[in-house]
Chain A
Amino acid sequence: MELTEDQLHRYSRHIILPEVGGKGQKKILSAKVFIVGAGGLGCPVGYYLAAAGVGTIGMIDNDTVELSNLQRQIAHSTKKLGVHKVDSAKETFESLNPDVKVIGIKDRISKDNILDLIKDYDIVVDGSDNFPTRYLVNDACVMLKKPLVSGAILRFEGQVTTILPGEGHCYRCLFEEMPPPGLVPSCQEAGVLGAITGVVGALQATEVLKLILGKGDVLKNTLLIYDALKVNFRRVKVPKNQNCPVCSDNPTITELQDYDAGYCRI
Protein backbone atom coordinates (compact mmCIF):
# COMPACT_ATOMS: atom_id res chain seq x y z
CA MET A 1 0.00 0.00 0.00
CA GLU A 2 1.36 3.41 -1.00
CA LEU A 3 0.08 6.58 0.62
CA THR A 4 -1.74 8.85 -1.84
CA GLU A 5 -0.96 12.55 -2.20
CA ASP A 6 -4.13 13.34 -0.25
CA GLN A 7 -3.03 10.99 2.52
CA LEU A 8 0.43 12.60 2.67
CA HIS A 9 -1.36 15.88 3.31
CA ARG A 10 -4.05 14.58 5.63
CA TYR A 11 -1.58 12.72 7.84
CA SER A 12 1.43 15.05 7.42
CA ARG A 13 1.52 15.95 11.12
CA HIS A 14 1.72 12.26 11.92
CA ILE A 15 4.26 11.44 9.23
CA ILE A 16 6.77 14.04 10.40
CA LEU A 17 6.82 12.51 13.89
CA PRO A 18 9.83 10.20 14.27
CA GLU A 19 7.61 7.68 16.10
CA VAL A 20 5.07 7.52 13.26
CA GLY A 21 6.36 8.25 9.76
CA GLY A 22 4.80 6.79 6.64
CA LYS A 23 5.28 3.28 8.00
CA GLY A 24 3.42 4.04 11.23
CA GLN A 25 0.64 5.76 9.33
CA LYS A 26 0.21 2.66 7.18
CA LYS A 27 -0.11 0.58 10.36
CA ILE A 28 -2.84 2.94 11.55
CA LEU A 29 -4.63 2.70 8.20
CA SER A 30 -4.67 -1.08 8.32
CA ALA A 31 -5.67 -1.32 12.01
CA LYS A 32 -9.07 -2.60 13.16
CA VAL A 33 -10.46 -1.26 16.42
CA PHE A 34 -13.72 -2.26 18.08
CA ILE A 35 -15.46 0.27 20.33
CA VAL A 36 -18.10 -0.81 22.83
CA GLY A 37 -20.62 2.02 23.05
CA ALA A 38 -21.24 5.07 20.88
CA GLY A 39 -21.90 7.36 23.84
CA GLY A 40 -19.84 9.67 26.02
CA LEU A 41 -16.55 7.82 25.58
CA GLY A 42 -17.20 6.06 22.27
CA CYS A 43 -17.80 9.40 20.54
CA PRO A 44 -14.42 11.04 21.29
CA VAL A 45 -12.52 7.76 20.96
CA GLY A 46 -14.06 7.07 17.57
CA TYR A 47 -13.71 10.67 16.48
CA TYR A 48 -9.95 10.78 17.12
CA LEU A 49 -9.34 7.29 15.76
CA ALA A 50 -11.24 8.26 12.60
CA ALA A 51 -9.22 11.45 12.27
CA ALA A 52 -6.02 9.43 12.77
CA GLY A 53 -7.03 7.14 9.91
CA VAL A 54 -7.78 3.87 11.71
CA GLY A 55 -8.99 1.88 8.72
CA THR A 56 -11.75 -0.16 10.32
CA ILE A 57 -13.77 0.93 13.33
CA GLY A 58 -16.43 -1.42 14.68
CA MET A 59 -19.00 0.06 17.05
CA ILE A 60 -21.86 -1.50 18.96
CA ASP A 61 -24.70 0.38 20.61
CA ASN A 62 -28.40 -0.32 20.77
CA ASP A 63 -29.56 3.19 21.63
CA THR A 64 -30.87 6.13 19.64
CA VAL A 65 -29.72 9.71 20.10
CA GLU A 66 -31.57 11.61 22.84
CA LEU A 67 -31.44 15.25 23.72
CA SER A 68 -29.77 14.52 27.06
CA ASN A 69 -26.86 12.84 25.23
CA LEU A 70 -25.78 15.95 23.39
CA GLN A 71 -24.17 17.61 26.41
CA ARG A 72 -21.22 15.22 25.90
CA GLN A 73 -21.70 12.80 22.98
CA ILE A 74 -19.97 14.89 20.34
CA ALA A 75 -20.34 12.59 17.35
CA HIS A 76 -24.11 13.18 17.39
CA SER A 77 -26.09 16.35 16.80
CA THR A 78 -29.52 17.90 17.23
CA LYS A 79 -30.41 16.83 13.67
CA LYS A 80 -29.77 13.20 14.66
CA LEU A 81 -32.30 12.99 17.50
CA GLY A 82 -34.01 9.60 17.27
CA VAL A 83 -31.37 8.16 14.92
CA HIS A 84 -29.43 5.07 16.00
CA LYS A 85 -26.20 6.19 17.64
CA VAL A 86 -24.06 3.90 15.53
CA ASP A 87 -25.61 5.30 12.32
CA SER A 88 -25.07 8.83 13.53
CA ALA A 89 -21.46 8.14 14.52
CA LYS A 90 -20.77 6.34 11.23
CA GLU A 91 -21.91 9.33 9.24
CA THR A 92 -19.84 11.73 11.36
CA PHE A 93 -16.65 9.68 11.25
CA GLU A 94 -16.83 8.70 7.59
CA SER A 95 -17.46 12.28 6.55
CA LEU A 96 -14.48 13.40 8.61
CA ASN A 97 -12.28 10.83 6.90
CA PRO A 98 -13.17 8.73 3.85
CA ASP A 99 -10.23 6.40 4.61
CA VAL A 100 -12.23 5.02 7.52
CA LYS A 101 -14.83 2.28 7.33
CA VAL A 102 -17.22 2.23 10.29
CA ILE A 103 -19.12 -0.98 10.94
CA GLY A 104 -22.03 -0.14 13.19
CA ILE A 105 -23.91 -2.83 15.08
CA LYS A 106 -27.34 -2.00 16.46
CA ASP A 107 -27.51 -4.50 19.24
CA ARG A 108 -26.81 -4.98 22.90
CA ILE A 109 -23.48 -6.63 23.63
CA SER A 110 -23.91 -9.95 25.43
CA LYS A 111 -22.17 -13.17 26.31
CA ASP A 112 -23.68 -14.69 23.18
CA ASN A 113 -22.37 -12.21 20.61
CA ILE A 114 -19.25 -10.58 22.07
CA LEU A 115 -16.65 -13.19 21.09
CA ASP A 116 -17.85 -13.23 17.50
CA LEU A 117 -18.00 -9.44 17.36
CA ILE A 118 -14.47 -8.75 18.58
CA LYS A 119 -12.56 -11.73 17.22
CA ASP A 120 -11.43 -10.06 13.98
CA TYR A 121 -10.32 -6.79 15.60
CA ASP A 122 -6.81 -5.90 16.81
CA ILE A 123 -7.80 -3.83 19.82
CA VAL A 124 -10.99 -3.35 21.86
CA VAL A 125 -12.03 -0.10 23.53
CA ASP A 126 -14.56 -0.14 26.33
CA GLY A 127 -16.64 2.99 26.37
CA SER A 128 -19.63 1.38 28.04
CA ASP A 129 -21.60 3.05 30.76
CA ASN A 130 -22.28 0.20 33.16
CA PHE A 131 -20.53 -2.42 35.28
CA PRO A 132 -22.05 -5.56 33.77
CA THR A 133 -20.74 -4.62 30.31
CA ARG A 134 -17.34 -3.63 31.68
CA TYR A 135 -16.87 -7.05 33.27
CA LEU A 136 -18.20 -8.88 30.23
CA VAL A 137 -15.82 -7.01 27.90
CA ASN A 138 -12.89 -7.64 30.25
CA ASP A 139 -13.56 -11.35 30.48
CA ALA A 140 -14.04 -11.72 26.71
CA CYS A 141 -10.82 -9.84 25.95
CA VAL A 142 -8.87 -11.97 28.44
CA MET A 143 -10.28 -15.14 26.88
CA LEU A 144 -9.40 -14.01 23.34
CA LYS A 145 -6.14 -12.28 24.41
CA LYS A 146 -7.24 -8.98 22.86
CA PRO A 147 -5.69 -5.75 24.10
CA LEU A 148 -8.38 -3.69 25.84
CA VAL A 149 -8.36 0.01 26.61
CA SER A 150 -10.95 0.58 29.31
CA GLY A 151 -12.33 3.94 30.39
CA ALA A 152 -14.88 5.15 32.90
CA ILE A 153 -16.29 8.49 33.96
CA LEU A 154 -18.40 9.79 36.80
CA ARG A 155 -19.14 13.32 37.92
CA PHE A 156 -15.75 15.06 37.79
CA GLU A 157 -13.59 11.97 37.70
CA GLY A 158 -12.27 9.71 34.97
CA GLN A 159 -10.29 6.47 34.88
CA VAL A 160 -8.31 4.78 32.13
CA THR A 161 -6.42 1.50 32.09
CA THR A 162 -4.93 -0.67 29.35
CA ILE A 163 -5.26 -4.43 29.66
CA LEU A 164 -2.80 -6.62 27.77
CA PRO A 165 -3.92 -10.18 28.49
CA GLY A 166 -0.98 -12.45 29.25
CA GLU A 167 1.30 -9.50 29.98
CA GLY A 168 -0.39 -7.35 32.61
CA HIS A 169 -3.35 -7.00 34.90
CA CYS A 170 -7.02 -7.25 33.95
CA TYR A 171 -10.07 -5.44 35.27
CA ARG A 172 -10.83 -8.24 37.71
CA CYS A 173 -7.28 -8.06 39.13
CA LEU A 174 -8.32 -4.54 40.08
CA PHE A 175 -11.91 -5.15 41.19
CA GLU A 176 -12.52 -8.87 41.38
CA GLU A 177 -16.31 -8.74 41.55
CA MET A 178 -18.80 -6.16 40.50
CA PRO A 179 -19.91 -3.83 43.26
CA PRO A 180 -23.44 -4.67 44.44
CA PRO A 181 -26.02 -2.41 42.79
CA GLY A 182 -26.64 -0.54 46.04
CA LEU A 183 -23.05 0.64 46.18
CA VAL A 184 -22.84 2.17 42.73
CA PRO A 185 -24.33 5.63 42.28
CA SER A 186 -28.04 5.85 41.68
CA CYS A 187 -29.22 7.55 38.52
CA GLN A 188 -29.77 10.88 40.28
CA GLU A 189 -26.23 10.78 41.59
CA ALA A 190 -24.66 9.86 38.31
CA GLY A 191 -24.07 13.23 36.74
CA VAL A 192 -21.03 13.90 34.60
CA LEU A 193 -19.34 17.03 33.40
CA GLY A 194 -19.49 16.56 29.64
CA ALA A 195 -15.94 17.66 28.91
CA ILE A 196 -14.55 14.90 31.13
CA THR A 197 -15.64 12.37 28.53
CA GLY A 198 -13.40 14.18 26.04
CA VAL A 199 -10.40 13.98 28.37
CA VAL A 200 -10.87 10.28 29.06
CA GLY A 201 -11.83 9.42 25.47
CA ALA A 202 -8.77 11.22 24.10
CA LEU A 203 -6.56 9.33 26.57
CA GLN A 204 -8.12 6.06 25.40
CA ALA A 205 -7.61 6.95 21.73
CA THR A 206 -3.98 7.81 22.48
CA GLU A 207 -3.44 4.45 24.17
CA VAL A 208 -4.92 2.71 21.11
CA LEU A 209 -2.66 4.59 18.71
CA LYS A 210 0.45 3.79 20.76
CA LEU A 211 -0.54 0.12 20.77
CA ILE A 212 -0.95 0.20 16.98
CA LEU A 213 2.41 1.95 16.53
CA GLY A 214 4.20 -0.10 19.18
CA LYS A 215 5.66 3.12 20.62
CA GLY A 216 5.91 4.44 24.15
CA ASP A 217 4.45 3.08 27.36
CA VAL A 218 0.82 2.19 27.90
CA LEU A 219 -1.24 1.95 31.09
CA LYS A 220 -0.32 -1.69 31.66
CA ASN A 221 -0.57 -2.65 35.35
CA THR A 222 -1.64 0.92 35.93
CA LEU A 223 -4.90 2.75 36.56
CA LEU A 224 -4.82 6.43 35.65
CA ILE A 225 -7.26 8.53 37.66
CA TYR A 226 -8.16 12.06 36.59
CA ASP A 227 -9.70 14.38 39.14
CA ALA A 228 -11.00 17.39 37.25
CA LEU A 229 -11.92 19.46 40.30
CA LYS A 230 -8.42 19.21 41.71
CA VAL A 231 -6.82 19.12 38.24
CA ASN A 232 -4.87 16.06 39.25
CA PHE A 233 -3.73 12.96 37.38
CA ARG A 234 -2.77 10.05 39.60
CA ARG A 235 -1.27 6.73 38.55
CA VAL A 236 -2.13 3.74 40.71
CA LYS A 237 -0.11 0.54 40.31
CA VAL A 238 -2.27 -2.52 39.67
CA PRO A 239 -0.30 -5.72 39.98
CA LYS A 240 -1.57 -8.81 38.21
CA ASN A 241 -3.48 -10.88 40.77
CA GLN A 242 -2.03 -14.40 40.79
CA ASN A 243 -5.46 -15.62 41.96
CA CYS A 244 -7.50 -13.51 39.52
CA PRO A 245 -10.74 -15.38 38.74
CA VAL A 246 -10.33 -14.81 35.00
CA CYS A 247 -6.71 -14.06 34.00
CA SER A 248 -4.72 -16.27 36.39
CA ASP A 249 -3.32 -19.66 35.41
CA ASN A 250 -6.23 -21.44 37.10
CA PRO A 251 -9.25 -19.27 36.39
CA THR A 252 -12.55 -19.94 38.12
CA ILE A 253 -14.43 -18.01 35.45
CA THR A 254 -14.13 -19.92 32.21
CA GLU A 255 -17.43 -18.99 30.59
CA LEU A 256 -18.92 -15.60 29.90
CA GLN A 257 -21.86 -14.48 31.97
CA ASP A 258 -24.43 -11.73 31.51
CA TYR A 259 -25.06 -9.79 34.66
CA ASP A 260 -28.49 -8.29 34.66
CA ALA A 261 -28.77 -6.45 37.92
CA GLY A 262 -30.30 -3.09 38.56
CA TYR A 263 -27.31 -0.97 37.65
CA CYS A 264 -27.74 2.59 36.66
CA ARG A 265 -26.26 3.51 33.28
CA ILE A 266 -24.06 6.52 33.54
Chain B
Amino acid sequence: MEDVRIDKKINIKGLICPYTFVKSKIAIEDMEVGEVLEILLDYEEASRSIPKSMEDHGHKVLKVEKINDTDWIIQVRKEKE
Protein backbone atom coordinates (compact mmCIF):
# COMPACT_ATOMS: atom_id res chain seq x y z
CA MET B 1 0.00 0.00 0.00
CA GLU B 2 1.32 3.42 -0.88
CA ASP B 3 2.37 5.71 1.94
CA VAL B 4 0.10 8.64 2.61
CA ARG B 5 1.67 11.97 3.42
CA ILE B 6 0.45 13.02 6.87
CA ASP B 7 0.06 16.77 7.28
CA LYS B 8 -0.97 16.84 10.93
CA LYS B 9 -1.02 14.33 13.80
CA ILE B 10 -3.02 14.55 17.01
CA ASN B 11 -2.91 12.33 20.07
CA ILE B 12 -6.28 12.12 21.81
CA LYS B 13 -5.50 9.13 24.05
CA GLY B 14 -7.36 9.39 27.32
CA LEU B 15 -10.28 11.31 25.83
CA ILE B 16 -13.79 9.91 25.53
CA CYS B 17 -16.78 10.91 23.40
CA PRO B 18 -17.71 13.48 22.39
CA TYR B 19 -14.34 15.17 23.07
CA THR B 20 -12.57 12.67 20.83
CA PHE B 21 -14.59 14.04 17.93
CA VAL B 22 -14.48 17.65 19.16
CA LYS B 23 -10.66 17.55 19.11
CA SER B 24 -10.53 15.77 15.75
CA LYS B 25 -12.98 18.21 14.19
CA ILE B 26 -11.17 21.30 15.48
CA ALA B 27 -7.91 19.86 14.11
CA ILE B 28 -9.30 19.22 10.64
CA GLU B 29 -11.06 22.61 10.49
CA ASP B 30 -7.68 24.32 10.70
CA MET B 31 -6.26 22.30 7.78
CA GLU B 32 -6.44 22.85 4.02
CA VAL B 33 -8.61 20.78 1.70
CA GLY B 34 -6.60 17.77 0.50
CA GLU B 35 -4.44 17.55 3.63
CA VAL B 36 -4.41 14.41 5.77
CA LEU B 37 -4.98 14.25 9.54
CA GLU B 38 -3.77 11.29 11.59
CA ILE B 39 -5.52 10.66 14.90
CA LEU B 40 -4.07 8.41 17.64
CA LEU B 41 -6.68 7.26 20.16
CA ASP B 42 -7.43 4.61 22.75
CA TYR B 43 -11.21 4.88 23.14
CA GLU B 44 -12.69 1.99 21.24
CA GLU B 45 -16.10 3.47 20.57
CA ALA B 46 -14.43 6.47 18.91
CA SER B 47 -12.55 4.18 16.53
CA ARG B 48 -15.96 3.55 14.96
CA SER B 49 -17.74 6.86 15.59
CA ILE B 50 -14.98 9.23 14.40
CA PRO B 51 -14.74 7.67 10.92
CA LYS B 52 -18.52 7.74 10.60
CA SER B 53 -18.80 11.37 11.75
CA MET B 54 -15.92 12.45 9.50
CA GLU B 55 -17.67 10.91 6.50
CA ASP B 56 -20.96 12.57 7.55
CA HIS B 57 -19.07 15.86 7.51
CA GLY B 58 -17.93 15.09 3.94
CA HIS B 59 -14.32 14.02 4.57
CA LYS B 60 -12.58 10.86 3.31
CA VAL B 61 -11.46 8.21 5.79
CA LEU B 62 -8.28 6.65 4.42
CA LYS B 63 -7.41 4.22 7.18
CA VAL B 64 -8.64 2.85 10.52
CA GLU B 65 -6.07 0.55 12.11
CA LYS B 66 -5.65 -1.06 15.51
CA ILE B 67 -1.94 -0.70 16.13
CA ASN B 68 -1.61 -2.46 19.51
CA ASP B 69 -3.74 -3.74 22.42
CA THR B 70 -5.03 -0.32 23.32
CA ASP B 71 -4.54 2.10 20.46
CA TRP B 72 -5.99 2.90 17.06
CA ILE B 73 -4.86 5.16 14.23
CA ILE B 74 -7.32 6.90 11.95
CA GLN B 75 -6.28 8.81 8.82
CA VAL B 76 -8.70 11.31 7.31
CA ARG B 77 -8.32 13.48 4.23
CA LYS B 78 -10.05 16.85 4.38
CA GLU B 79 -12.41 17.04 1.41
CA LYS B 80 -14.25 20.30 2.03
CA GLU B 81 -14.32 23.41 4.18
- CB-CB under 8 A from B25, the residues of chain A are 15-16, 21-22
Distance between B21 CB and nearest chain A CB, rounded to angstroms: 6
Q: CA separation between A16 and B19, bound complex, in Å?
A: 9
B19→A12 contact, CB < 8 A: yes
Q: Confirm or deny: B14 has a beta carbon within 8 angstroms of a beta carbon on chain A.
A: no
- Identify A18's interface contact among B19, B22, B23, B57, CB under 8 A: B57
B21→A22 contact, CB < 8 A: no
Distance between B42 CB and nearest chain A CB, rounded to angstroms: 19
Q: Confirm or deny: A265 has a beta carbon within 8 angstroms of a beta carbon on chain B.
A: no
A23→B21 contact, CB < 8 A: no
Contacting B at CB under 8 A, from A18-50, are 18, 21-23
CB < 8 Å A-B pair total: 27
19 new A-B contacts at CB < 8 Å, known A16-B25, A18-B56, A21-B29: A3-B26, A8-B22, A8-B23, A8-B26, A12-B18, A12-B19, A13-B18, A15-B22, A15-B25, A16-B18, A16-B21, A16-B22, A16-B53, A18-B57, A21-B25, A21-B26, A22-B26, A22-B29, A23-B29
Contacting A at CB under 8 A, from B12-35, are 18-19, 21-23, 25-26, 29
Distance between B9 CB and nearest chain A CB, rounded to angstroms: 18
Distance between A41 CB and nearest chain B CB, rounded to angstroms: 32
- CB-CB under 8 A from B56, the residues of chain A are 18
B: contact size bracket: 10 to 19
Can you sample 13 A-B contacts with CB below 8 Å?
A8-B19, A8-B22, A12-B18, A15-B22, A15-B25, A15-B26, A16-B18, A16-B22, A16-B25, A16-B53, A18-B56, A18-B57, A22-B26
Nearest first, the 6 closest Cβ-Cβ pairs linking A and B are A22-B26, A12-B22, A22-B29, A15-B22, A16-B18, A8-B22
- CB-CB under 8 A from B57, the residues of chain A are 18
Contacting B at CB under 8 A, from A97-113, are none
Q: Confirm or deny: A9 has a beta carbon within 8 angstroms of a beta carbon on chain B.
A: yes
Distance between A8 CB and nearest chain B CB, rounded to angstroms: 5
Q: CA separation between A9 and B18, bound complex, in Å?
A: 9
- Identify A9's interface contact among B19, B21, B29, CB under 8 A: B19
Q: CA separation between A13 and B17, bound complex, in Å?
A: 11
Distance between B59 CB and nearest chain A CB, rounded to angstroms: 11
- CB-CB under 8 A from B26, the residues of chain A are 3, 8, 15, 21-22
**Which A residue sits closest to B58, measured CB to CB?**
A18
- CB-CB under 8 A from A22, the residues of chain B are 25-26, 29
Distance between B31 CB and nearest chain A CB, rounded to angstroms: 12
**Which A residue sits closest to B30, measured CB to CB?**
A22
Q: CA separation between A18 and B29, bound complex, in Å?
A: 11
Distance between A195 CB and nearest chain B CB, rounded to angstroms: 30
- CB-CB under 8 A from A21, the residues of chain B are 25-26, 29
Distance between B40 CB and nearest chain A CB, rounded to angstroms: 18
**Which B residue sits closest to A24, measured CB to CB?**
B29
B21, B29, B56 interface centre (most CB from chain A within 10 Å): B29
**Which A residue sits closest to B24, measured CB to CB?**
A16
- CB-CB under 8 A from B22, the residues of chain A are 8, 12, 15-16
Distance between A101 CB and nearest chain B CB, rounded to angstroms: 24
Q: CA separation between A15 and B21, bound complex, in Å?
A: 9
Q: CA separation between A13 and B53, bound complex, in Å?
A: 14
